[in-house]
Each structure stands twice: as C-alpha cells, then as structure tokens.
Chain A
Amino acid sequence: MNYRWNWSILLQEPYTEWLWSGLQWTVAISLVSWAIALSVGLVVGVVRSLPSGILRVIAGVYIDVFRNIPPLVQLFLWYFVLPEIVPETIGLWIKRDLPYPEFVTAVVAIGLFAGSRVAEQVRAGIEAVGNHLMPAALATGLRPLQAFRLVVVPLGLRAIVGPLTSEFLVTVKLSSLSLTIGVLELTAQSRHIENYTFQGLEAFTVATIGYLVIGLCVTGLMRLIDDRVGGAALRRAGS
C-alpha cells in the first residue's frame, strides 16, 4: 500500500475542531433519538401488551410500519416528502422556520424507528416475565390495571434492560445516517477531512475509535442499570 500516513494532520486547524464537533453531534443525535425511542417504545409496548382495545391495534400498526421500512428510507421520507404532503403552511414552516431542521428530522426519524424496536422488546419482556404473575396479583384483589401497573410492567421492564443495550447501540450507529441529510456528525466530518486533505484513513480511524468509546460507555451504563434492577436474575428465573 502506498498510502502515506500522516497523523499530524489531525492536530491541524481546523480538522481537530471538525472531529470534535462531529463527535458532539453524534452524541447529541444518539441521546435525543434514544430518549424519543425509549419514551415512544415504552408507551407503545405497554399499550401493545393490553388484552384488547383500539389502542392496542394502533400500537400494532405503528410497530409494523416503522419496523419494516429501512431507516434510511424513513429519514428521506421525513426530510424530503413530509414537508410536501402536509398542508402548505406547515410545509413552509418546516422548510423555513424549524430550528436545526436536519438535526430535528434525524432524531425524529431515528427515534421513531428505534422506538418501534424498543416497543417490541417491552412487549416481549412483559409477556415473558411479567404476565405469569397476573393471576397472583389479581388473587390479592388488585384490579387488572393496578396489577398491570404495579407488578407486570415493572417486572417486564426490569427484565429487558439487558436486551435494550443492543437497541441503544443500534441507535448510536444509526446516527451516522443523518449525514445523508446534511448533519455534520462524526462520519460526515471524517469524510469532510478526507475531501480536504486526502488523509481519510486517519480521520476514519479516529471516528471508529469515537464510535467504539461511545458504544462501550453505553454497554457499561446499561450493565450497571441491569445489575441495579436485577434484570439478569429475572431473565434466568423467567419461568
């Protein structure tokens, strides 16, 4: 290979700054879209576990639609198609007045995609670990919704902290999609540096390490939470 490594390029202005700002955007997109995914996924997953009702059907439709369309397509739909099909005033507002339009679109798109996956985890956790305690809770006189809220859901959620780690990691990695609509996150900045300096390998090495560090932090954090709530023991007991 004739590539001439030149690591010092990364210490030159403005490239250090670019990478640093890219890393910040990546973290910001990851955290905000994960917050959206968690909130939406929790609500939808719990609703999906209810025995019946129109809400349960709506939750099912959301999961089916958002889980089955490629996230990149979803991102384009939100960014290019949505402003054109909503009433004109709203479309104009999205195009002209929405603050940080690329960032907002990216976190909504990634958050709702990941949310559908989180919802399925929530439902699975409730079904696998929580539901079998329903009769015992009902037998003490709790009303079905009380039993669900006080026993079944808290148990199901504790059990899925481990599996949710993967969803969190997927969300972090999906943040790189947002470069396609112009967010200058870590991957975009690395390409940027390559275009300016032809020293892409150095930039991408740093980006790789960046993603790795974020991922390891996420894994460590989730493991800590899992230990705290006793998730692993619940998944083993399972019965």
Chain B
Amino acid sequence: MIVLEDVHKSYGKLKILRGCSASVKLGEVVVVCGPSGSGKSTLIKCVNGLVPFEQGSITVDGVSVSDKKTDLPMLRARIGMVFQNFELYPHMTALENVSLAQIHVLKRSRAEADAGSEKLLARVGLGGKLASRPSQLSGGQQQRVSIARALAMDPKAMLFDEPTSALDPEMINEVLEVMQALALEGMTMMVVTHEMGFAQRVADRVLFMDGGEILEDTPKAQFFTDPATERAKQFLTKVLTH
C-alpha cells in the first residue's frame, strides 16, 4: 500500500532523512517511534507529499508521490492525515470542517456532505457537537473532529503525526480509542507516536528511527521484548519506565 525506498531529505546542510526504506501493507498498522528530531514527522509528511524529498521514491497505492506527473491533490484525497496540533479551520463549525473537502474535492452536494459528516462525527463520539467551533471544543474533541475530517474522504490509508502529543493526559485515551477502533476495522495506518501502550495493543509492526535512519523494522512482539539495536533498547527503557 505504502512503499518507501531510500528516501533522503535535507534542509540545507541539515540531513533529516538518510535513506529510509519501509513499507506498509494493506490493512497493516505500523507505528513509527524514536526520539525527538529523529525524522519521524518529516518521514510521514513525505508520504503524502507535504514535504518534498530529494532522493528515493515513495509510492502509495501504486502511485509515485515524487513523480511530477502525479496529481498530488488527488493522491492526498485518498490518504487521510491527522496532525499533532489538530489544524482545524477555526472559523468553521465541526460539521463544516468535515464537509469542506467533501464538497470541493469529491464534489458532493452540501446536503450529501453534511449527512456524511454527521455520521462520521457521531462515530467519533461527537454527534452533539456539530455546530461547535474548534475553540469551543477540548483538545481531544478537536483531534476527533480532525480524524473525522480525514475519514470523510474515504481514505485508503491514514497517516497520524503524533496525534496525542498536544493533548492533556486525560484526553489521550479518547483519541487512542477512536484510532484503535479504526485499526480493528482494517484501516491501513501509519502512526508516529510516543504512546507505546497504543503500539503494544494495536500495531502490527514498529519502525524505530534515530538520526534520520530507520534502525529497526520489526514485528511488534519482537520490538518490545527483544529489540535488535542497542539504541532501541535504551529508548524503550526510558519510555517504558514512565
């Protein structure tokens, strides 16, 4: 579904990604973890072309992301993305946030889009917040709206970029539960997160990154019991003891 081959990315002289290769198969949930500054967020933003890269290739559903002939907006419409800071449109209601791209990208009528949005918002537990603006919602609620906004495009895969990092602790679970339900329904997911509990429950595989490289690409069970690299062991002891 998603295939990354030898992806390089740098900002000026600063190398962010040094040859990352990985793949996410249909229906798989892959968690990307690693210390801050390891390039996780950059990597996931390369997948839908939000961050351009210099070298290597990424294909999603058989379509190359870096190919100039690729219609990127069309490709992005089939990959949902959820950001760390929710990035909802503050001047629109929850319903309008979810409906906007349905109307302008999928060319649905407003009534059709709103009906779909209502269902999705109910599904993420926000059926009663259709008319609320983001500023009237808690962080956890905003992030669930943003998940609904991504799902509204009927995506083939979902990218999550640290979806719970900006949340108060008591709100993290409500977001993780929505994500877990998605995973159980068979959604293909690539998730950058520090939530190791989520990884242990939901992930099929774990990618461990450090210094712009993917140091480990292992099945979940093995990653948590017997990581291959010393660096991953250190990371796990630090993260898991908390």
Contact = CB atoms under 8 A, between A and B. Distances in A.
Interface residues of B, number: 29
A138 B50 contact: yes
A22 B158 CA distance: 65
Interface centre among A143, A230, A233 (most CB of B within 10 A): A143
A133 B91 contact: no
A226 B140 CA distance: 28
B83 interface: yes
A123 B48 CA distance: 28
Given A135-B50, A150-B100, A155-B90, A140 B153 contact: yes
A230 B136 CA distance: 12
A139 B76 contact: yes
Nearest to A237: B90
A158 interface: yes
A142 B91 contact: no
Contacts of B85: 239
Contact of B76 (A138, A234, A239): A138
Contacts of B144: none
A141 B73 contact: yes
Interface string B115-152: 00000000000000000010100000000001001101
B91 A135 contact: no
B101 interface: yes
Contacts of B78: 141
Interface in A194-235: 229-230, 233-234
A160 to B, nearest CB: 13
Contact of B83 (A136, A143, A151): A136
B77 A141 contact: yes
The secondary structure that dominates the A interface is helix
Contacts of B152: 140
A135 B104 contact: no
Contacts of B101: 137, 140-142
A140 B150 contact: yes
Contacts of B150: 139-140
A150 B104 contact: yes
Contacts of A154: 91
Contact of A139 (B48, B91, B100, B133): B48
Interface in A104-146: 132-133, 135-144, 146
Contacts of A138: 50, 73, 76
Nearest to B134: A237
Nearest to B51: A135
B74 interface: yes
A229 B135 contact: no
A133 B87 contact: yes
B198 interface: no
A135 B152 CA distance: 17
A230 B90 CA distance: 9
A144 B85 CA distance: 21
Contacts of A239: 85
A141 B105 contact: yes
A139 B50 contact: yes
Given A135-B83, A136-B88, A143-B73, 9 more contacts: A132-B87, A137-B89, A138-B76, A140-B77, A141-B73, A142-B73, A229-B91, A230-B90, A233-B90
Interface of B: 45, 48, 50, 73-74, 76-81, 83, 85, 87-91, 100-101, 104-105, 133, 135, 146, 149-150, 152-153
18 contacts: A133-B89, A135-B45, A136-B81, A136-B83, A139-B48, A139-B50, A139-B76, A139-B80, A139-B83, A140-B149, A142-B73, A142-B104, A144-B73, A150-B104, A151-B100, A155-B91, A229-B91, A233-B90
